[in-house]
Amino acid sequence: MDDELVLEVTGLTKRFPGVVANEDVSLTVHKGEIVALLGENGAGKSTLVKMIYGLYRPDEGEIRIKGETVRLSGPREAIRRGVGMVHQHFQLVPVFTVAENVILGNEPRKLSFIEKRKAIKEVTALAEKNGMAVDPKALVRDLPVGAQQRVEILKALYRRADILIMDEPTAVLTPQETDELLKTMKGFAANGVAVIFITHKLREVLAIADKIEVLRSGKVVGTTTPAEADQAKLAQMMVGRSVLLSVEKSTSSPKEIVLDVVGLSSDSDIGLPAVREVNLTVRSGEIVGIAGVEGNGQRELVEALTGIRKSTATKFAINDENAIGADPHEIHSMHVGHVPEDREKDGLVGQYSIANNMVLNRFDEPEFSRRGIRNMDAVNGLATKLVKEFDVRTPSIKTPANSLSGGNKQKVVIARELSANPSLLIASQPTRGVDVGSIEFIHSQIISARDNGAAVLLVSAELDEVLGLSDRILVMYDGEIVAELESADADRAEIGRLMAGGHAVMAEESSHG
């Protein structure tokens, strides 16, 4: 590590309508240093790096790159000054080739023409040099996620970035791929590249960071190093108080089978098999958690179970009722509640009032309508009741859902889904992007639903959440359920290996060895 200061940020503030995303943030990054930005979803990490990359303009404060105060007019200028960014959502053009994506914006040219051959040669050389195998002539849309990320990194390297921002790069990777990426990042640092690494995974931070900046509610709440910190301390800094590592709950008493699935398969959006021959049962009074790295078919599984995605199955029954080929409406009427993964996109209509959102999937039930005419008194009555019961912080039930915080939005969704007393609750990422107070509340609601006899299927990318809530854990990898464990004997490391595609037997072997 060098002592040369390449990036210095002082007093950066960014406000969005209604929110202060960053407040008085200061940060220094040296040449060859890996700085981890740690924080929960919504802590302001992305906003901070987007300002450094010129995508947002700070309202206050100063950015100095290599000693020079800059006012970045856009990414182009940031790129010119050596800032590169690997985005969480890949910024690639699917119908372009790898080479075209890499050179976009910095094309090798003769007059105004692209030198295609030169581009391919350069990209090939760059990929080889950094040990990243990728075919420059392949179309990006045909590549798997890991390869797309390599293209994204190559893009930054091609622009000779010496300050490389990586925004949650491990979110879409298996533990093994993650390890490889971490190694690559260390390699960059050794070559003098300053790396800013955004994550909320403590293990990764401790593994490679030289310095750790913890953000909470838009502010830097602490700076530390792996030597000084451990996971518990980091977690405490992130959330501001000790996290309940295990959720308090009574032991489960599973009863009859509610969800019974045999041989369920489903395709992804681009028509590739995403869920392969999954067998699954969930009983009344138990929580079954599905662990897995995102993108291993969990989303498709949930969508298939809720009728949103087409699927095939030998058996798919809810309360002994055949649900093969049922549409979302029919599944819903089998007493299934569904907390979707992306509540903003799929769970709520932002412009609608809380009241309308509370009956979004029940508005045509006899309770709320008669002969096609809506009964608004009943709707408002229910909304008033639920807002109180589920502690939704809102001025009124007429407030549009848009204007609520993430946690309160999620409470609206959970309230809606639980208010119908579902016999099966499918909850996908129920606490993503939700504040700590709301997390606890949501967890307790899920547990009390179980205690009241609901069968609960929980899908979460947060292993701790799965471990903490579930009575039984299924591990999903590449569209298959690769292992089933009782939560009592679940071991974090073992699940990690399973999530990476290691077989249960192998896991056993390694645990013996």
Partner 1 sequence: MRARWAWTITVIILVGIMFSYTQDELRTTSVLSFSLRYAIPLIIAAMVGLVCERSGVINIGIEGQLLMSAFAGFFGAAATGSLIIGTLFGIGTGLIMGAVFATGAVAWKMDQIISGTIINIIATGLTSFFYAQGQVLPASTPVVAIPYLKDLPLVGPVLFNNGLFTYAAIIIVIFLQIMLFLTIWGLRTRAVGENPSAADTSGINVQRTRFINVTLAGGLAGVAGAYLSLEAAGTFERGFTAGRGFTALAIMIFGAWNPVGAFAAALFFGLTQGVASQLQADEVVDIPPQFINMLPYVLTIVLLAVVAGRVRPPAAVGKPYEKD
Partner 2 sequence: MSSDGPAQTDLGFTDPNPTLGPKYGVVKAFAIPIVSVLLAFAVGGILIYFQGVNPFTAYRVLFESALGDSDGYLRVMQKSTPLIFTGLAVVVGLRVGLFNIGAQGQLIVAAIGAAWAGYHFDLPAVVHLPFALGFGMLCGAAWASIAGVLRAYRNVSEVITTIMLNSIAIALVDYLASRPFKEPDQPLSRTPLISDSAALATFGVIPSGFVIALIVSLFFGWFLIRTTEGFRFNTVGLNPNAARYAGISVKRTIVLAMAVSGALAGMGGAVETMGVVGRFEPAFNAGLGFDGITIALLARANPIATIPAAILVGILRTGANSLQFETGIEPEVVDVILALTLLFVAAPIVSRYIFRINAKRKSKSKGRS
User: Cβ closer to partner 2: 101 or 353?
Assistant: 353
- The yes or no reply on residue 367 touching partner 2 (CB under 8 A) is no
Q: Which stretch binds partner 1 (CB under 8 A): 89-97, 187-195, 308-316, 381-389?
A: 89-97
What burial letters (b/e) apply to 395-414, b meaning 16+ CB within 10 Å?
Answer: eebebbbeebbbbbbbbbbb
Binds partner 1 by CB under 8 A, chosen from 25, 29, 92, 415: 92
- Whether the Cβ atoms of residue 346 and residue 339 lie closer than 8 Å to each other: no
- The yes or no reply on residue 272 touching partner 2 (CB under 8 A) is no
480-487 CB contacts, 8 Å cutoff, 24+ apart: 480/276, 480/277, 480/278, 480/297, 481/278, 481/279, 481/280, 481/290, 483/507, 487/289
Q: How far, CA to CA in Å, does 309 sit from each of 264, 377, 430?
A: 12, 34, 20
Site string for partner 1, 139-158 (x = CB under 8 A): ----------------x---
Q: Which stretch binds partner 2 (CB under 8 A): 114-122, 193-201, 273-281, 337-345?
A: 337-345
- The yes or no reply on residue 402 touching partner 1 (CB under 8 A) is no
User: Cβ closer to partner 2: 94 or 263?
Assistant: 94
- The yes or no reply on residue 423 touching partner 2 (CB under 8 A) is no
353 binds, among partner 1, partner 2, none (CB under 5 to 8 A by kind): partner 2
- Whether the Cβ atoms of residue 239 and residue 436 lie closer than 8 Å to each other: yes
105 binds, among partner 2, partner 1, none (CB under 5 to 8 A by kind): partner 1
User: Cβ closer to partner 1: 109 or 255?
Assistant: 109
Burial group, residue 377, by CB count within 10 angstroms (0-12, 13-18, 19+): exposed
DSSP codes, 171-214 = TTS-HHHHHHHHHHHHHHHHTT-EEEEEES-HHHHHHH-SEEEE
What residues numbered 111-140 form the site for partner 1, per CB under 8 A?
Answer: 112-114
Name 271's Cβ contacts closer than 8 Å, sequence gap at least 6.
none
Residues in the chain, overall count:
513
235-241 CB contacts, 8 Å cutoff, 24+ apart: 235/202, 237/38, 238/38, 238/39, 238/40, 238/43, 238/200, 238/214, 239/40, 239/436, 240/216, 240/436, 241/436
Residue 190 exposure: Cα atoms within 13 Å on the Cβ side: 8
Binds partner 2 by CB under 8 A, chosen from 35, 120, 127, 348: 348
Binds partner 1 by CB under 8 A, chosen from 11, 67, 109, 314: 109
Residue 271: CB minimum distance to partner 1, A: 11
User: Cβ closer to partner 1: 29 or 102?
Assistant: 102
188 binds, among partner 2, partner 1, none (CB under 5 to 8 A by kind): none
Q: Which stretch binds partner 1 (CB under 8 A): 7-15, 90-98, 204-212, 378-386?
A: 90-98
Angle between helices 175-190 and 145-158 (to 10 degrees): 10
User: Cβ closer to partner 1: 115 or 464?
Assistant: 115
Site string for partner 1, 9-48 (x = CB under 8 A): ----------------------------------------
What residues numbered 293-322 form the site for partner 2, per CB under 8 A?
Answer: 306, 308
Number of residues binding to partner 2, judged by CB under 8 A: 36
- The yes or no reply on residue 361 touching partner 2 (CB under 8 A) is yes
Binds partner 1 by CB under 8 A, chosen from 7, 85, 206, 235: 85
> 3-state class of 20 per DSSP?
strand
> 3-state class of 243 per DSSP?
coil
Residue 220: CB minimum distance to partner 1, A: 22
- The yes or no reply on residue 267 touching partner 1 (CB under 8 A) is no
Name 160's Cβ contacts closer than 8 Å, sequence gap at least 6.
82
| List of E strands, 313-361 | 315-318, 321-322, 336-339
> 3-state class of 502 per DSSP?
coil
Residues in touch with partner 2 (CB under 8 A): 306, 308, 327-332, 338, 340, 345-353, 355-356, 360-361, 363-364, 369, 372-374, 376, 379-380, 397-400
Instruction: Please give the residue ranges that form the binding site for partner 1 (CB under 8 A).
Output: 53, 55-56, 74-76, 78-80, 85, 87, 90-96, 100-101, 103-107, 109, 112-114, 155
